[in-house]
Amino acid sequence: MWRGAAQRRDEADEARDGLHAAGFAAYRGVRRTLRSITVKGSARVGAVLVSVMISRPLAAKCARLALMVSGEVRNDPGQELTIRLETVPDANERQEAPVRDGHRFTARLLFDPTKGYSRLRGHDCSRDPSIVRLLLLHGEDVRQKKELSFDKDFIEKSAGVYEVREAIVLDGQSDPDPR
């Protein structure tokens, strides 16, 4: 009896050494539960159970959605105007610098679709932005603002990449936004 229990304990210790350090506490709780199992080779079964239980929370988070907006800026002879994208919710999402080619532009914004997390199901990646706001700026002054509905104005081009349905036209001569 002692030899079998010692062997199972040694096998469980070997399995523990191969586990990720973040899951060690979960391993201890499972190991206590496994002590009551008397099936031959229970330490191997326990190691597999622990690996499965720990791997779930360590899985990757949600992939970011790429929102692409293209169009042109009219009446901007010196190309002094800049373009910024914002989303509602999360106006502070990461944005790459817009690419300008003459009067044409392409802007890309990465949006985090994480809605929540459940220990059973993992990450819920079903959140979409409701509004994508396009700002035409001269310094910090807003020259023009367009709000695009994500559901109506965007189409999915490939997995996780959304493009605006129609090119956006902005006017650089618009009066600054009164505040």
130 and 70 in a single domain? The answer is yes
| Residue 97 confidence (pLDDT) above 70 | yes
pLDDT digits (tens, 9 = 90+) for 157-171: 999 999 999 999 999
Answer yes or no: is 130 within a domain: yes
51 and 69 in a single domain? The answer is no
84 and 141 in a single domain? The answer is yes
92 and 49 in a single domain? The answer is no
Output the pLDDT for position 19. 42
Q: Which of the four pLDDT bands, split at 50, 70 and 90, describes residue 108? A: very high
Output the pLDDT for position 2. 47
Locate 109 and state its tokens: 């914004």
Answer yes or no: is 179 within a domain: no
pLDDT digits (tens, 9 = 90+) for 20-71: 333 444 444 544 444 544 445 555 555 554 554 554 444 558 899 999 999 9
The mean pLDDT of 104-108, rounded to a whole number, is 94
Q: Which of the four pLDDT bands, split at 50, 70 and 90, describes residue 175? A: low
Q: Which of the four pLDDT bands, split at 50, 70 and 90, describes residue 96? A: confident
Output the pLDDT for position 18. 47
The whole domain housing 125 covers 65-171
8 and 94 in a single domain? The answer is no
85 and 117 in a single domain? The answer is yes
The mean pLDDT of 89-93, rounded to a whole number, is 78
pLDDT digits (tens, 9 = 90+) for 116-147: 888 888 889 999 999 999 999 988 889 999 99
93 and 165 in a single domain? The answer is yes
The fraction of the chain above a pLDDT of 70, given in percent, is: 62
CATH of the domain at 90: 2.60.40
**Contacts from 86-94 at CB under 8 Å and sequence distance 24+?**
86/132, 86/133, 86/135, 87/111, 87/129, 87/131, 87/132, 87/133, 88/129, 88/130, 88/131, 88/132, 88/133, 89/129, 89/130, 90/129, 91/133, 94/64
Output the pLDDT for position 129. 93
Q: How many domains does the chain have?
A: 2
Q: Which residues of 87-104 are buried (b: 16+ CB within 10 A; e: fewer)?
A: beeeeebebeebebeebe
Answer yes or no: is 85 within a domain: yes
Residues 6 or more apart whose Cβ sits within 8 Å of residue 178: none
Answer yes or no: is 177 within a domain: no
Angle at 127 between CA 122 and CA 132, to 5 degrees: 150
Question: Which amino acid is residue 34, in one-letter code?
Answer: L
77 and 27 in a single domain? The answer is no
The mean pLDDT of the chain is 75
Locate 49 and state its tokens: 């159970």
Answer yes or no: is 79 within a domain: yes
Q: Which of the four pLDDT bands, split at 50, 70 and 90, describes residue 95? A: confident
116 and 70 in a single domain? The answer is yes
Output the pLDDT for position 148. 97
